[in-house]
Amino acid sequence: MSETTSSSLQGTATDPSQFKSFAEFYPFYLGEHSNSTCRRLHFIGTSLSLIFLLMLFVTGNWWYLLAGLICGYAFAWIGHFGFEKNRPASFKRPLYSFMGDWMMWRDILLGRIKM
In a domain, 14, yes or no: no
Half-sphere exposure of 70 (CA within 13 A, CB side): 5
Phi/psi of residue 8, each to 5°?
-125, 175
- For residue range 43-73, list pLDDT tens digits in order: 999 999 999 999 999 999 999 999 999 999 9
In a domain, 15, yes or no: no
Average pLDDT over every residue of 27-56: 97
In a domain, 80, yes or no: yes
CA distance 45 to 51: 10
- The pTM assigned to this predicted structure is 0.84
In a domain, 56, yes or no: yes
In a domain, 6, yes or no: no
In a domain, 10, yes or no: no
Provide the domain limits for residue 89: 21-109
**Number of separate domains in the chain:** 1
Question: In degrees to the nearest 10, what's the CA dihedral of 108, 10, 12, 89?
Answer: 50
